Amino acid sequence: MMRGGRSLVSSPPAFSNDAKKLLVCTSNTVSVFSTVTGLLITSLEGHTALVTSVIVVPPSNPAAKVLCYCWTASLDGTIRYWDFSLPELMKTIDIRMPIFSMVIPSFLDVPAEENGKHQDLFAYVSIEDAKETQERTKASRRQIRKCNLSKSRLVGRLILGETRKPEVLTVSPSGKFFGIRNKCKLHIWKVLDQGSERAAVRKITLHHTKKITVIAFHPTQRIIAAGDVTGRILTWRGFGNRAFAASNGVADQKLINVQEDKPGVRDNDDADSCSTWHWHSAEVNVLSFSSDGSYLYSGGKEGVLVVWQLDTGKKKFLPRIGSPLLYFIDSPDPTLSSISCADNQIHLLKMPSMGILKTISGIKAPCCYPDMYEGLGNGIAFDQTAGIVAVRTENYCIQFYSLFDDRGVSEVQVCERNHQPGDDVTVIVTSVALSIDGSLMSTSEVKLAEEGIGGLVCLKFWDAGSQNKEFSLSTIVYEPHRDAGISAVKFHPSGNMVVSSSFGGDFKVWKCNHDVIQNDQMRQNFSWTCHAVGSYKKKPMTAAAFSADGSVLAVAAETLITLWNPYKNVLLAVLGETLTPIVNLSFVGKSDNLVAASCGSNPQLSVWNMSKLSLSWSYKLHIEAVASAVDLSSFAALVLLPESSKKTTFKGMDGVILLFNATDPVPTVIWSVRKAKGGALCFVQVSPSSVEEISIDGKAPEVLLAYMNGDHEYVLFDPYCKDAREVSVSQKEGLAAHDHKGQAGQYGYASIYGELPEFDRKRPEAPWVPSFPSDRPWETIFSGSSHNLPPLTKLCSAFLESLLEKRTAAAE
């Protein structure tokens, strides 16, 4: 079993100490990416639920920079300690409560080992206490607690705070403070020096009138910044001067209170001043101080990273990121940082110039469109031979994602529009189809009308260049079916024919004309023209499919299935009738069966026998997707479970995948899945090139079934292997790892002076006793400067030896 397509942006990532690795929480695992190549190096597997925090242990001294230890916390209630270079699990702490967030402020004080006693390491966790439901209200079950990591337990009954929602803890870079946001308030705790574990932690609260979304601490000074839902950024300076600094003098406090005037600070909050910046139009999601504390980075829904100069309030922008920002992480290397975007991309930034160096590209999330366009299909197309899936994305692109490598391959912009997050959607990519060899693509898009004026349907044909998989536009057809929308686009198995069916009552067969232009480079020029138009009783055409040999074209005319000869455009037969309109047609491999899925109030899965032209069997099932392999007699269907059966039989699972043999109405295998709505299915052929990577119990499977759920997470498995369902994938570690040294990864000493010459490497190569290449070796032994010469004792023996050799040669 191979999983992939997980979200890279569920929690903030973390850089390793040498800034060459990026640790990213990907659902149950932590993936370690190389920042140089952007490829996956390894992953830490062991958690059984979503990993919510990953914290890299900072180096205590410069030599410890190479150490790769990290703490992770997860919703499964465990905190784990890893060595992520190997990777190896070192320690597990089970606190039996889901952890939403964890911070470890006191790393800096830990290596006080010279006094013999290893001091305890404390973490602060945001958890949900599931046990105390009876006596407490639900509101107060989310708690902030302290955990002793060295002794592997929570600290007594010490509850620092309680919140209504699980809140994210934020720690200051100096490790002295941590805080949370709680609606319109900020709570800040001061971490006391290594006292007893029960030492009471002091807390202050700052108030604001709007809901606060994110907070950040200044690395050196007592400054805290917070962003709110309206896009304002508030900066409190000198917070906690009273509560944290002047600890005992109550009388003094009062005195100060009277005299001070504190501009901008609300109520009687404990801060010197509060200033406000407002640039963001929507809520602020990202807030981070630079490591020297002179700049503040902020970002939000606009997808623009703003750099504020802290003293002057001057701004600099990194615009056109194209997606709302979620996290900004500074690395130990001052020239590198990362931003995580909502479209599942992590961009590595080259720092002072803010150029995007590399992108770690996850699969993009499905885009949500207005309801009226829901039924137009999920916009997912598979390239069965190469194992690549094409998904439409929010920024009018088609993303190509490699299922085997679990990373984005390329992106093709379909519409010539700039996408700005938060804009109204005016263009929708309705469908995407790929030819079997993956070299041709067809997309259709709808420009939405403004109150009935100016809507436009557009069909586009693309072809890929020979070497690189860059698609280029070959033909645009405006209004292919007048103003009617396109219901389906399908490629002929040979690849030079496309059928597009429309709700307007006709379908068109498009044919490809190759022109090979004899330029300086051979370049194929594809142009597509309409080959035939067909309609059946003016009924809307809702689905279309070519048979495996390409001789029959099946087009669904609402409830009927019409069969055509695609070359001559002759109606062959009409198959008879389902209860509701058919939305999905598919021929089952090379067999003479046709699967039709209809939806609506009376959903139906029906299998038609082509030789008898009759219905062989049918089920009343709500079908989300159907997949059939080219040379198999079976097909798989993704079924949405009705609401009634969901709770009782299938604990939270909302769909099943059924694998049928086309002639047999009894499914051969059933798998239950989550998030089936909007999912997709496909049989993926395992090409010989990737066979050595994928093996199941030693032998390679011919075909894998790919299931992609509504969140675009996918799983690849062998549908015919009953017991051993584990698909082991040998990691392509070498690919990512060997780029580590050299090139871009240099900084500090190496970037200024270049690599140090490797003295040790040289020594074994150059032999200790000099060799004598000339035929009169005694002449060369003593040549060279004196400090290079070997000791005299060795030289003497060599000298004598050379003389002896000469004599034997003379004797011969």
Partner 1 sequence: MAEIRAEEPASTISKTFLIKPKLKSKPRSLPQTPESKYWSSFKSTKIPNLVSSISSLSFSPSPPHLFAAAYSASVSLFSPLSLSDGDVSPSSTISSFSDVVSSISFRNDGLLLAASDLSGLVQVFDVKTRTPLRRLRSHTRPVRFVKYPVLDKLHLLSGGDDAVVKFWDVAGESVVLDLIGHKDYVRCSDCSPVSPDLFVTGSYDHTVKVWDVRVENSRSVLEVNHGKPVEDVIYLPSGGLIATAGGNSVKIWDLIGGGRMVYSMESHNKTVTSICVGRVRKENDGAESMEDRILSVGLDGYMKVFDFGNMKVTHSMRFPAPLMSVSFSPDCRTRVIGTSNGIIFAGRRKGKENVESGRVGNVLGFESISESERRVLKPTYFRYFHRGQSEKPTEGDYLVMRNKKIKLAEHDKLLKKFRHKDALVSVLSRKNRENVVAVMEELVARKKLLKCVSNLDSDELGLLLTFLSKNATMPRYSSLLMGLTKKVIEMRVEDIRNSDALKGHIRNLKRSIEEELRIQHSLQEIQGIISPLLRIAGRR
Nearest approach in angstroms of CB 565 to partner 1 is 17
Q: Which is nearer to partner 1, 116 or 454 (CB)?
A: 454
Nearest approach in angstroms of CB 423 to partner 1 is 9
**Rounded distance between C-alpha atoms, residue 275 and residue 192, angstroms:** 28
Q: Which is nearer to partner 1, 257 or 418 (CB)?
A: 418
Q: Which is nearer to partner 1, 538 or 762 (CB)?
A: 538
Nearest approach in angstroms of CB 419 to partner 1 is 12
**Where do runs of H (alpha helix) occur along 5-59?**
none
Nearest approach in angstroms of CB 40 to partner 1 is 38
Nearest approach in angstroms of CB 370 to partner 1 is 13
Nearest approach in angstroms of CB 4 to partner 1 is 35
Give the sign of the dihedral formed by CA 16, CA 19, CA 21, CA 26: positive
**Rounded distance between C-alpha atoms, residue 71 and residue 81, angstroms:** 5
Nearest approach in angstroms of CB 321 to partner 1 is 20
Q: What is the DSSP string of 454-480?
A: --EEEEEEEEE-SSS--EEEEEEEESE
Exposure b/e, 308-335, CB count within 10 A at least 16 = b:
bebeeeeeeebeebbbbbbbbbbbbbee
Which residues pair with residue 236 across a beta bridge? 224, 274
Nearest approach in angstroms of CB 433 to partner 1 is 25
For binding to partner 1 (CB under 8 A), which residues are involved? Answer: 417, 424, 426-427, 447, 449-454, 456, 479, 483
Nearest approach in angstroms of CB 454 to partner 1 is 4
Q: Classify 65 as helix, strand or coil.
A: helix
Q: Which residue has the tokens 């199941």?
A: 696
Q: Which is nearer to partner 1, 479 or 733 (CB)?
A: 479
Q: Which is nearer to partner 1, 48 or 418 (CB)?
A: 418
Residues 6+ apart with CB under 8 A from 643: none
Q: Which is nearer to partner 1, 114 or 416 (CB)?
A: 416
- 238 conformational bin, left if phi > 0, alpha if psi -120 to 50, beta if neither: left
* Number of helical (H) and strand (E) elements in the chain, helices listed first: 6, 59
Nearest approach in angstroms of CB 427 to partner 1 is 7
Q: Which is nearer to partner 1, 309 or 426 (CB)?
A: 426
Residue 551, token pair as written in the block: 């001789």
Q: Which is nearer to partner 1, 458 or 554 (CB)?
A: 458
> Residue 39 burial (CB < 10 Å; 0-12/13-18/19+)?
middle
Q: Which is nearer to partner 1, 313 or 455 (CB)?
A: 455
Nearest to 425, CA basis, from 398, 396, 397, 452? 396
Residues 6+ apart with CB under 8 A from 614: 575, 608
The residue type at 31: S
Q: Which is nearer to partner 1, 143 or 395 (CB)?
A: 395
Torsion of CA 68, 74, 76, 80, to 10 degrees: 20
Nearest approach in angstroms of CB 456 to partner 1 is 7
Residue 688's H or E segment, with its range, is none
Q: Which is nearer to partner 1, 454 or 764 (CB)?
A: 454
Which residues pair with residue 130 across a beta bridge? none
Q: What is the DSSP string of 176-227?
A: SEEEEEETTEEEEEEPPSS--TTPPPEEEEEE-SS-EEEEEE-SSSSEEEEE
Contact of 492 with 566, CB cutoff 8 Å: yes
The residue type at 549: D
Q: Which is nearer to partner 1, 453 or 516 (CB)?
A: 453
Nearest approach in angstroms of CB 222 to partner 1 is 43
Nearest to 13, CA basis, from 322, 338, 248? 338
Nearest approach in angstroms of CB 309 to partner 1 is 28
Q: Which is nearer to partner 1, 486 or 639 (CB)?
A: 486
Nearest approach in angstroms of CB 540 to partner 1 is 20
Q: What is the DSSP string of 729-791?
A: E---HHHHHTTSSSGGG--THHHHH-PPP-HHHHHHHS-SSPP--SSSGGGTTT-S-GGGSPP
Q: Which is nearer to partner 1, 135 or 451 (CB)?
A: 451
Q: Classify 391 as helix, strand or coil.
A: strand
Nearest approach in angstroms of CB 417 to partner 1 is 7
Residues 6+ apart with CB under 8 A from 332: 15, 17, 18, 19, 65
Q: What is the DSSP string of 520-586?
A: SSEEEEEEEEEEEEE-STTPPEEEEEE-TTSS-EEEEETTEEEEEETTTTEEEEEE---SS-EEEEE
- CA–CA distance from 692 to each of 251, 689, 715, 729 (Å)? 77, 7, 19, 9
Q: Which is nearer to partner 1, 261 or 451 (CB)?
A: 451
Q: Which is nearer to partner 1, 414 or 597 (CB)?
A: 414
Nearest approach in angstroms of CB 712 to partner 1 is 27
**Rounded distance between C-alpha atoms, residue 413 and residue 416, angstroms:** 7
Nearest approach in angstroms of CB 319 to partner 1 is 15
Query: What is the CB-side half-sphere exposure of residue 502 using CA atoms within 13 A?
Result: 24
Q: Which is nearer to partner 1, 136 or 417 (CB)?
A: 417
Q: How many other C-beta atoms can be found within 10 angstroms of the C-beta atom of residue 214? A: 23
Nearest approach in angstroms of CB 392 to partner 1 is 18
Q: Which is nearer to partner 1, 159 or 425 (CB)?
A: 425
Contact of 222 with 238, CB cutoff 8 Å: yes
